[in-house]
Amino acid sequence: RVAARLVRIEKEILRNALAAVQEVIAALPNGSESPCYSQYRPILK
């Protein structure tokens, strides 16, 4: 019973963490405009 509750809490934490990561990814530039004008510029998305 306690283990089942801990699993539910862990799932909620992971779901919230995933939502936060997706928000950060959505806020990243799409790579069409890069401050680095080189052949090896980072592709963020």
Residue 37 CA to residue 40 CA, distance in Å, equals 8
Q: What is the DSSP string of 12-45?
A: HHHHHHHHHHHHHHHHS--SSS-S--STT-----
Q: Per residue in 8-39, pLDDT tens?
A: 999 999 999 999 999 988 887 666 555 556 66
The pLDDT, as a whole number, for residue 44 is 62
The pLDDT, as a whole number, for residue 25 is 81
The whole-model pTM stands at: 0.56
Q: Is the pLDDT of residue 4 over 90?
A: yes
SS3 content of the chain, % helix, strand, coil (to 5): 60, 0, 40
